[in-house]
A and B are shown apart, each in its own frame.
Chain A
């Protein structure tokens, strides 16, 4: 975390309306790729993947009224599966909550905010294998910023953001982030100039 804001330039690349539009499009893409909502499960990766998964489920439910958004959404913690546990300060695992129907033979869509090195998704795939055997696994991300270190790509991308590795991409979601006392939805690129 930066100690101060001095010397850091920030620019908003997605505002609240852009995020909403991107999620609407992703929701439609998911339904189209899956040919409907059958066997669909959305698993958000903490922390910001989970509210994104919930928003996507809401949008899917508004297109297909037979869907109960709570019954297709879950959270998948990947902390214990990371390959950098010994390189960083100890992380506390968060809860993994699967929908009541489980994930066996389902089409699982992993949902995360930013796709970067791909290592989180690798960990998520390992975690999934310990929980069950989905029929297929797809990946939806709000932002793909490039710089992949593993052969992983997203099926559904809100926005491709070419970045330099010096920059940081921060996603703020109203469910989690309060800035100056108010909830915000935005994607910001910070650059330590």
Chain B
């Protein structure tokens, strides 16, 4: 794997490998010395054209736990505001021998452009592009879901899939790269995906997505989902009126105290509530729901570091002869000493 740009083109095999490596990375996070030497001497650049706190520090923590050097490049206040193009920035990073560029960009497709341009030799990781994709967020959601699902099934999470799991994604799907990445990835991993949101906040062409669409949250909850993922209402991306008022949105589409109680009434004891953060409390999710034992919000943040460690490790270690390795059935088919010269 050279780049991580989207989950749409991620095979089940690659996705499972990423999640399995993330399990081992999570174990490192529980040790006293939370550091591995695997990426010593390699440079990871966090190139952020949009504000983000949790994604950037999550990538930074992940790179540092693998002993990589990290350069944080916040575009605000940089030469980009003087008019430097993505190409010039990329070539600067290339000249500084960056091994990986983690890029967040307001334009959909910017990371793919960077990866395909030939401007830079580094691995490109998409940390959110426009309204397109946010693959590492989807991977950490899948990781969180898989741990929950495996625990319920009484099996180890490493190696298991999401087969049989029903995941409901609610809210502003139109502006949400998290929703897109999750629809592709969760489907690839065997889960059934339901979407619910106001018609004005669902994208054109959603009929071709591998999921069922609901226009009423309570109808969707009646499908007895195993997880409910609330999306953030992305006010900063809204340049038109998509719904009459926030109060109405909250009543119709918010996960409020009433709906939290409904899960108990329906006997959905094991249904978790997810949110990619940052949360608009009282809008798409009530405080009681966000802080309830069902909420996985903090587990998602914690798992984000493990998943990003796995992604950086798989992108940056090895000599790019991965295809050969991917074909062996046994991911542990190492070549220990003694076997080959």
Residues on B with C-beta less than 8 A from A15 are none
Known: A89-B324, A92-B17, A94-B332. A119 touches B319 (CB 8 A): no
Known: A85-B38, A87-B319. A145 touches B325 (CB 8 A): no
Are B341 and A145 in contact, with the CB atoms below 8 A? Answer: no
Residues on B with C-beta less than 8 A from A90 are 1, 313-314, 317-318, 322, 325
Q: Report which of A47, A77, A95, A119 forms a contact with B337, defined as CB distance below 8 A.
A: A119
Q: Report which of A81, A118, A119, A169 forms a contact with B37, defined as CB distance below 8 A.
A: A81
* Residue on A nearest B325 in the bound complex, by CB: A89
Q: Report which of A46, A88, A117, A130 forms a contact with B332, defined as CB distance below 8 A.
A: A46
Known: A77-B24, A88-B318, A88-B319. A143 touches B36 (CB 8 A): no
Among A60-110, those with CB < 8 Å from B are: 77, 79-81, 85-96
Least Cβ–Cβ distance between B39 and chain A, in angstroms: 8
Cα–Cα distance between A85 and B24 once the two chains are bound (Å)? 17
Are B334 and A145 in contact, with the CB atoms below 8 A? Answer: no
Confirm or deny: A41 has a beta carbon within 8 angstroms of a beta carbon on chain B: no
Least Cβ–Cβ distance between A78 and chain B, in angstroms: 10
Residues on B with C-beta less than 8 A from A93 are 21, 24-25
Are A130 and B341 in contact, with the CB atoms below 8 A? Answer: no
Are B332 and A114 in contact, with the CB atoms below 8 A? Answer: no
Residues on A with C-beta less than 8 A from B66 are 80
Residues on B with C-beta less than 8 A from A120 are 336-337
Of B21, B31, B35, B337, most A-chain CB atoms within 10 Å: B337
Confirm or deny: A174 has a beta carbon within 8 angstroms of a beta carbon on chain B: no
Main secondary structure of the interface of A (DSSP, over half): loop
Residues on A with C-beta less than 8 A from B33 are 130-131
Known: A114-B338, A119-B337, A120-B337. A92 touches B331 (CB 8 A): yes
Are A79 and B339 in contact, with the CB atoms below 8 A? Answer: no
Residues on B with C-beta less than 8 A from A130 are 31, 33, 35-36
Residues on B with C-beta less than 8 A from A86 are 317-319
Are A81 and B36 in contact, with the CB atoms below 8 A? Answer: yes
Among A115-161, those with CB < 8 Å from B are: 115-120, 126, 130-132, 143, 145
Confirm or deny: A165 has a beta carbon within 8 angstroms of a beta carbon on chain B: yes
Residues on B with C-beta less than 8 A from A168 are 338-341
Cα–Cα distance between A117 and B335 once the two chains are bound (Å)? 13
* Residue on B nearest A130 in the bound complex, by CB: B33
Cα–Cα distance between A39 and B73 once the two chains are bound (Å)? 50
Main secondary structure of the interface of B (DSSP, over half): loop
Confirm or deny: B321 has a beta carbon within 8 angstroms of a beta carbon on chain A: yes
Cα–Cα distance between A47 and B32 once the two chains are bound (Å)? 25
Q: Report which of A96, A143, A145 forms a contact with B27, defined as CB distance below 8 A.
A: A96
Least Cβ–Cβ distance between A101 and chain B, in angstroms: 15
Residues on A with C-beta less than 8 A from B340 are 168
* Residue on B nearest A187 in the bound complex, by CB: B338
Residues on A with C-beta less than 8 A from B192 are none
Least Cβ–Cβ distance between A192 and chain B, in angstroms: 10
Confirm or deny: B133 has a beta carbon within 8 angstroms of a beta carbon on chain A: no
Residues on A with C-beta less than 8 A from B121 are none
Residues on A with C-beta less than 8 A from B335 are 88
Residues on A with C-beta less than 8 A from B314 are 90
Are B337 and A114 in contact, with the CB atoms below 8 A? Answer: yes
Residues on B with C-beta less than 8 A from A46 are 332, 334
Least Cβ–Cβ distance between A123 and chain B, in angstroms: 9
16 chain-A/chain-B pairs, Cβ below 8 angstroms = A79-B334, A85-B38, A88-B321, A90-B314, A90-B322, A91-B325, A92-B17, A92-B20, A94-B24, A112-B336, A114-B336, A116-B337, A130-B31, A165-B341, A168-B340, A168-B341
Identify the A interface with B (CB < 8 A).
45-48, 77, 79-81, 85-96, 112-120, 126, 130-132, 143, 145, 165-166, 168-171
Beyond A85-B317, A88-B318, A93-B21, 13 additional contacts (C-beta under 8 Å) are: A47-B332, A79-B38, A80-B36, A88-B321, A89-B319, A90-B1, A90-B322, A92-B20, A92-B332, A119-B337, A168-B338, A169-B338, A170-B339
